[in-house]
A and B are shown apart, each in its own frame.
Chain A
Amino acid sequence: MSIFIDSTTRVLVQGITGKEGQFHTRQCIEYGTNVVAGVTPGKGGQMMDDVPVFNTVAEGRRATGANASMIFVPPPFAADAILEAADAGMELIVCITEGVPVMDMLKVKNYLAQTNSRLIGPNCPGIITPGQCKIGIMPGAIHTAGGPVGVVSRSGTLTYEVVHQLTEVGLGQTTCVGIGGDPVNGTGFIDCLEEFNKDQETTAVVMVGEIGGSAEEDASAWIKANMNKPVVGFIAGLTAPPGRRMGHAGAIVSGGKGTAEAKIAAMEESGIYVCKDLGHLGRLCKEAFS
């Protein structure tokens, strides 16, 4: 079991012939992802390695039965690409692109609420169900298939660090979701926690947050009320100065809101095992989950 994606997921790549799109499509295929189609407007009819390229998402979906899309288009065109995927009926849309304007995402998010499409990202590493399907830019090799830990995170390399430590202490992963570092994104912590809670193979969850917004506080309250599996939490940004954007567009403490301290307090209050020393996160998980 897993959440959102598995070995039956059929992936279409938007922006497949670009430098990034090409490179990461190959990495995904090498990992075992079933990439069935690509889209680059104007390049329909061509092939990217063994993958047929189409002019539009609708056409690609009709021809191949793709049900998930991975987006590698530049920021000015990302909103358009997400909306195209949603209107073509893609069940899952993973947008890797960093730098999408907030105003675009405000509109996209409200539009998607009226469809059946799930968006992961933007500005995210993607999602992986180890051993089955990787839709994103994360290094496949650090993951261990078969669970029992689900991972959800706002960050990229920080997630790799966490997964690496889990693998090192002998804890495999069911699914790892990078929900992205932008202030307005698609799938959130609670969406993932709900699914992990239902997933039989997932017996524990690691949740990685950072400064900015109140998603971690909201997720903590949800966990307290609903979660029946242990959760280890980590928050990055204790030393971040207020008012500064720390790399991610969403990672900013403003008006005294979104501090790491407040998030850690909310997590502790909700019975989450808070990891205060990233160097020993794997070990803490081993203890908390045994």
Chain B
Amino acid sequence: MKIHEYQAKELFRKYKVPTPQGGVAEDVANVEQIATELGLPVAVKAQIHAGGRGKGGGVRLARTPEEVTAAAGDILGMTLVTKQTGPSGQLVRKVLIEKGVSIKKELYLSIIPDRETASIAIVTSQDGGMDIEEVAASTPERIIKVSINPLIGIQGYHLREVMFGLELEKDLMKPFGQILRSLYNLFVDYDCSMVEINPLIITEDNEIIALDAKMDIDSNAVYRHPDVKEMHDPFEDDPTEAEAAKFNLNYIKLDGNVGNMVNGAGLAMATMDIIKQAGANPANFLDVGGGASAEMVENGFRIILSDENVKGILINIFGGILRCDVLAQGVVQAAQKVELNVPVVVRMEGTNVEEGRRILAESGLNLINATNLADAANKVAEIVA
């Protein structure tokens, strides 16, 4: 679960990680007031989850009251398009106003779980303020990675590896070490899947400040962090995906026109792939889960059909413990309740498949039976062609 920059900075301050002085506002008058209190210049920063805000015009430096008003007016209410938002962009409802700081040096710092080594990795570089993926690709030697065993936690030598690697001035080592330790503790305490600061700056006065802050918290662990749960911003959710989540359906909207409903995430991905191979494009990822019920199938239909691009639907169910005849009944019931205005290809395999196919065939519904996966993909591709 992602949180906003201003929320991540609240948590930073709780852990004594320095951030610029600032405040959050939702209207221009409030922005002006906060800017006056802080003193000029200030930075006005759009609060959306996606990265790349600066390049998209969502971050402005304002040196005069007029510039503050103009920046607030431009950014609040704009639909910000960045490489991470997709072409439709994200509406900006809040801005963070921060006191300007004098930058001597920009560093990059992130903490992430390293899945391959089951450790917690600190990734850092002297080339802060830039796209870190580009740094990693062009000058990998400029990136320092230190892995920490979570049972042992962060030790002095980890700090030294980071700080000597960054060629920090001697005077900065003590405060930097404290900040790094705090960030590690924050990462662990809050079940983070990412903490990223780009840039982490050193000011002309030799202060270390987190100028930016990105935090992503493991959705499976949000239950034990009620304060983070409250930070959830429903405006950042795709409305259809949020609706699907209410029914325990895992739905991701894509831009094709073949809707599909599958039980199991791996099989759902493979089904999307085979639709593409047949020459069509999947309109979504939808996993109804290993234990799909008639009700879930019905909700699945509704969600898929809410996408106007959908011209055909492929249902691919591997009946295991959940028998095909029960599923077929579910499909028939759901199809009767939901107005099905596009052709539906059904591919069913597994336990009691003959009975399941018979139920579908005798339902009188416009369901197209497929004998196997390849057949199903070809049939649905033909329909939407």
Bound Cα distance A24, B321 (Å): 9
Flag if A139 contacts B270 (CB, 8 Å).
no
Residues of A197-237 whose CB lies within 8 A of B: 208, 210-211, 213-215, 218, 234, 236-237
Residues of A15-30 whose CB lies within 8 A of B: 23-24, 27
Residues of B313-342 whose CB lies within 8 A of A: 318-321
- The segment from A3-11, A155-163, A265-273 found at the interface with B is A155-163
Residues of chain B contacted by A276 (CB below 8 angstroms): 277
Flag if B191 contacts A102 (CB, 8 Å).
yes
Bound Cα distance A211, B267 (Å): 13
The verdict on B290 contacting chain A, using a C-beta distance below 8 Å, is yes
Bound Cα distance A240, B274 (Å): 12
The verdict on A286 contacting chain B, using a C-beta distance below 8 Å, is no
Residues of A140-194 whose CB lies within 8 A of B: 141-142, 153-161, 164, 181, 183-184
CB within 8 Å for A102 and B220 given contacts A155-B264, A240-B272? yes
Bound Cα distance A159, B118 (Å): 25
- Closest B residue, CB atoms, query A260: B273
Flag if B254 contacts A101 (CB, 8 Å).
no
The verdict on B157 contacting chain A, using a C-beta distance below 8 Å, is no
Chain A 92-110 against B: per-residue CB contact (8 Å), 1 yes, 0 no?
A: 0000000111111111011
Residues of B256-279 whose CB lies within 8 A of A: 262-270, 272-277
Flag if B266 contacts A106 (CB, 8 Å).
no
CB within 8 Å for A102 and B218 given contacts A155-B264, A239-B276, A247-B285? yes
A155, A181, A236 — most chain B CB neighbours (10 Å):
A236
- The segment from B33-41, B177-185, B304-312, B371-379 found at the interface with A is B371-379
Bound Cα distance A141, B84 (Å): 45
Flag if A76 contacts B276 (CB, 8 Å).
no
- Closest A residue, CB atoms, query B285: A246
Flag if B274 contacts A158 (CB, 8 Å).
no
Residues of B196-255 whose CB lies within 8 A of A: 218, 220-221, 223-224, 250, 252, 254
Bound Cα distance A185, B253 (Å): 28
Bound Cα distance A183, B115 (Å): 6
Residues of chain A contacted by B101 (CB below 8 angstroms): none
Flag if A246 contacts B223 (CB, 8 Å).
no
Residues of chain A contacted by B281 (CB below 8 angstroms): 239
From B150, B223, B269, B321, A210 is in contact (CB under 8 Å) with: B269
Flag if A156 contacts B350 (CB, 8 Å).
no
CB within 8 Å for A277 and B374 given contacts A103-B150, A236-B266, A236-B269? yes
- Closest A residue, CB atoms, query B272: A239
CB within 8 Å for A156 and B266 given contacts A102-B218, A103-B188, A183-B115? yes
Residues of chain A contacted by B356 (CB below 8 angstroms): none
CB within 8 Å for A155 and B265 given contacts A101-B191, A110-B149, A247-B285? yes
